[in-house]
Chain A
Amino acid sequence: MINAAHHDHDDLRLLRESVRTLLERAGGVARARKIRDEDGGWDAPVMTELAKAGVFGAAVPEEAGGLGMGLAAAGIIAEEVGRVIAPEPVVASVGLAIGLLRRLCPEHALLTEALAGTTVLATAWQERDAKGFSDTLSSRFENGALTGTKSWVAGVAAASGILVVAEAGGGPALALVEPGGKGVSIDKRRQSDGSILAELHLSGAPTELLAEGPVVAKALEAAVSDTTVLTAAELVGVSAKALEITLDYIKTREQFDKPIGSFQVIQHRAVDMHVMQEVAEASVRDALGLMDATEAPRLRARQASRAKARACTTARKITREAIQLHGAVGYTDEFDIGLYLNRALVLSAWLGDDVYHRRLWLNARNAEEAAE
């Protein structure tokens, strides 16, 4: 009954079931804990299995080698990734790396390899300034080499290549570097969920140029919107599962000779979590559908921000309430519920939190209304 699957269309339901089965068979949430305790990377065989299930090409048009099922399908996958905290960089690969390659160089062998899961690419596009994300690029592509610092690079732990967006003079360029190559140094920063978010330092790193000019800016904008909404979908999966675990717990945990879920104050808090979750699911799925229906960058960005704002607010509230309703055991590492809190922290911060996205959303809304 409280199963996200009941609102899907048939083909999406099948996709959801196959991804869920695959991730459960691979070890479920226990795998997230194991990898966290090791090195914060991921399982290469699981990456390949996901690729075989069509995960990386679900949202890629058929002419570029994908399944052409749109973002709605990628959103379903992201929700399932969120439910078991799968450590594979699915959203970063689908949204950023594959999102850029399929728009900028669909003929390149890298895209085929990324779709097949044989190559995993991280994407370095953001830079830091005093207020957070910088609006301008200070990294440079000159004479076939890259120089500068890129921040918040996800999925770098076991990546075989890094796509870098840098200023090339006449606009941005997209270029490829090797993680262990000359002039490349990676400062790995551990996140609360055990994953790595890196700072990438480039000092004359030799590179392969993949694309340059205004097309890169345009493709990047689209890819970032996709990644933002897919991260929101992943958060929806995180909060959905955290809520389910909590509901199961309060139905069985007894205090004062009764299950704590029979106390009205607990019930009302659980209901509030449930209502938030339903709103978040409806919102994110609505946004995915609207984004599939348009190419207009501002409309897509607005929907992505709406989804991320909602998903962050919801995941934050639900994962924190979940700890409270578990009582002291919720604060122990031994119980899985804490893994969800830690994952929500990471996914909320990545690409901007709810306050940041509400600001973007309002600006986009005002701009649209001014244009009317």
Chain B
Amino acid sequence: MIDYNAMSDADFRRQVRQFFETEYPEELRNLSHRPKFAEIEHWHRKLHAKGWVAPAWPAEFGGMGLNAAKLLFFYEEQQRWGVVRGRDMGVQMVGPLIIKFGTDAQKAYWLPRILSCEDIWCQGYSEPGAGSDLANLRTNAVIEGNEFVINGQKIWTTMAHDSTHIFMLVRTDPKAPKKQQGISFILVPMDQPGVEVRTITTLAGETEFCEVFFDDARTPCENLVGELNKGWTMAKSLLSFERVFIGAPNLAQNALGQLETYARGAGRFDDPVFCDRFAEVALDVEDHAALYARFADQLKRSEPLGADVSMLKIWVTETFQKITELMIEAAGPDGGTLGPLQVGNVGLDVLAVFYKARPTTIYGGSNEIQRNILSKAVLGLPG
């Protein structure tokens, strides 16, 4: 087993960079959509053979065991090379939860299957009527014999149509005094008669999100992770991680690079008004990176992140949207055209990037929710 943390930062970075540059398939660089597993299976096998599927997991469970600093380098290199965010809900979300709260049997059974992608996971949190107000969920699970029997509906379930399993929050005690109590975290196989998946077509014309219906669907009681009715705190521990992840600079940085290439090709830098607006968003990206580095340093010193991490998500997603809006402006009369716009030998799908930016201020806790968090937890504003 390799101790990556013992390597110098420079050596580690070099090794990671070299692997991506030589092994990552060119046609998968900077994909504009969330791929189905079949599309990236070949890459996943390579990553799996290398033992690099789960950089943050402890080595004893098949991860790379990277400390926070090395982990950030790993992600930075991934982003720099435009490596796809694969079908990683298992690795990023349910795996860490099983490692932290699961039984030995659960760890032994589920973790290897996550790494090999034998099981492909999606996240069942949101429900109609319970989006940002996550604890307001109605999907319930009743214990019958050795099984949970599940009824209800999840929505905005990313890539459910390409998943074999769903990890979900369900109400197991409807009489609990607070809505955050009485929620449990369970693992459910999707290949059964009581589970129906319907795709939702997005504004962009893609099918990334789904609705998932549960009609007497079943899962063994041993698929409960953690204690019964204690799922809320566990799920919340995942959300703070998600917030750092979606506060990272990569989406905005990539879009800025695309905007610049396109605008140069289209001669837009001759226009001083465009130049000013470009400089504005470019500085928004650069200055976000300075703020992000402050949080990254905190992680590298192994200090816990506070609620103020929400500001990264607000800033970077809103900057991302500003950039995509400037792209549309730069496209002028072609700004409503679907598909790649060709400028010289460069093609840019302006609308694909624009659409991609829209949900970023909604998912992972809408930016309004992030503002509520900052207002209460950081600024200490009343009521």
Contact string, A133-160, partner B, CB cutoff 8 A, digits 1/0?
0000000000000000000000000000
B379/A362 in contact, CB under 8 A: no
Known: A250-B381, A283-B283, A306-B287. 10 other contacts (CB 8 A): A247-B379, A251-B381, A264-B375, A271-B314, A271-B375, A274-B379, A275-B315, A279-B291, A282-B291, A283-B291
The answer to whether A2 and B371 touch across the interface, beta carbons within 8 angstroms, is no
Stretch at the interface among B4-12, B42-50, B273-281: B273-281
Q: Tell me which residues across on chain B come within 8 A of A355, comparing CB atoms.
A: 276
| Residues in B neighbouring A271, C-beta threshold 8 A | 314, 371, 374-375, 379
Q: Given A271-B375, A358-B276, A278–B383 Cβ distance below 8 Å?
A: no
4 closest pairs, A vs B, by CB? A262-B383, A286-B290, A267-B375, A283-B287
Complex CA gap A270/B311 in Å reads 12
Bound Cα distance A7, B290 (Å): 13
**A-facing residues in B278-296 (Cβ within 8 Å):** 278-280, 282-283, 286-288, 290-291, 293-294
Contact A282 B275 (CB under 8 A): no
Cβ A358 vs Cβ B381 within 8 A? no
Residues of chain B lying within 8 A (CB to CB) of residue A1: 378, 380
Pick the contact of B279 from A251, A267, A275, A361 — CB < 8 Å? Answer: A361
Closest to B275 in A: A362
| A7 contacts across to B, CB distance below 8 A | 294
Residue among A258, A261, A267, A361 making CB contact with B283, cutoff 8 Å: A361
Nearest-neighbour CB distance to chain A for B247, whole angstroms, equals: 11
Question: CA–CA, A280 to B308, complex, Å?
Answer: 15
Expressed in whole angstroms, the Cα–Cα distance for A268 and B283 within the complex equals 23
Q: Is the CB of B382 within 8 A of A261?
A: yes
The answer to whether B191 has its CB under 8 Å from any CB of chain A is no
Query: Is A72 in contact with chain B by the CB < 8 A criterion?
Result: no
Instruction: Please tell me if the beta carbons of A264 and B372 are within 8 angstroms of each other in the complex.
Output: yes
Query: How many residues on chain A are close to B (CB under 8 Å)?
Result: 35
A267 and B377 CA atoms in complex are apart in Å by 12
Chain B contact surface mostly: helix
Alpha-carbon gap, A280 to B276, bound state (A): 18
Complex: A306 Cα to B285 Cα, angstroms = 12
A286-B378 Cα distance, complex, nearest whole Å:
23
Bound-complex Cα distance A12 to B278 (A): 35
**Does B206 reach chain A (CB closer than 8 Å)?**
no
Q: Quick one: given A310-B283, A362-B279, are A275 and B374 in contact (CB under 8 Å)?
A: yes
List residues of A whose CB falls within 8 A of some B CB. Answer: 1-2, 7, 247, 250-251, 258-259, 261-262, 264, 266-268, 270-272, 274-275, 278-280, 282-283, 285-286, 306, 309-310, 355, 358-359, 361-362, 365
Decide if B279 touches A359 in the complex (CB within 8 Å). yes
Q: How far is the CB of A205 from chain B (nearest CB, A)?
A: 39
In the assembled complex, the CB of A26 is this many whole angstroms from the nearest CB of chain B, namely 29
Contact of B379 with A2 in the complex, beta carbons under 8 Å: yes
Query: Chain B's nearest CB lies how many Å from the CB of A62?
Result: 28
Chain A residues touching B, majority SS? helix
In the complex, the chain A residue whose C-beta lies closest to that of B319 is A279
Q: Contacts of B382 on A, CB cut-off 8 Å?
A: 251, 258-259, 261-262
Question: How long is the Cα–Cα vector from A61 to B114 in the complex, in angstroms?
Answer: 57
Closest to A309 in B: B283
Complex formed: what's the CA distance from A268 to B282 in Å?
25
Chain A residues with Cβ below 8 Å from B371 are: 267-268, 271-272
By the criterion CB–CB under 8 Å, are B381 and A267 in contact?
A: yes
A362/B282 in contact, CB under 8 A? yes
Contacts of B275 in A (CB 8 A): 359, 362
A258 touching B280 in the complex, CB below 8 Å, given contacts A7-B294, A268-B371, A279-B287: no
Contact check, B381 vs A270: say whether CB atoms are below 8 A apart: yes
Closest to B306 in A: A1
Q: Is the CB of A310 within 8 A of B287?
A: yes
Identify 12 residue pairs between A and B in the complex whose beta-carbon atoms are under 8 Å apart, listed by A's number. A251-B382, A262-B383, A267-B372, A275-B315, A278-B311, A279-B288, A280-B287, A309-B283, A358-B279, A358-B280, A359-B275, A359-B276
> Does B278 contact A362, Cβ atoms closer than 8 Å?
yes
When distances are taken between beta carbons in the complex, the residues of chain B under 8 Å from A306 are: 283, 286-287
Taking the closest CB of chain A, its distance from the CB of B61, in whole angstroms, is 35
Contacts of B375 in A (CB 8 A): 264, 267-268, 270-271
Chain A proximity of B155: nearest CB distance (Å): 25
In the complex, B368 has a CB within 8 A of chain A: yes
Closest B residue to A261 by beta carbon equals B381
A9 → chain B, closest Cβ, in Å? 11
User: Measured between alpha carbons, how far is A84 from B52 in the docked complex, in Å?
Assistant: 53
Which residue of chain B is the closest to A307 with respect to CB atoms? B287
Query: Closest chain B residue to A310 by CB distance?
Result: B287
The docked-state distance in angstroms from the alpha carbon of A250 to that of B375 is 12
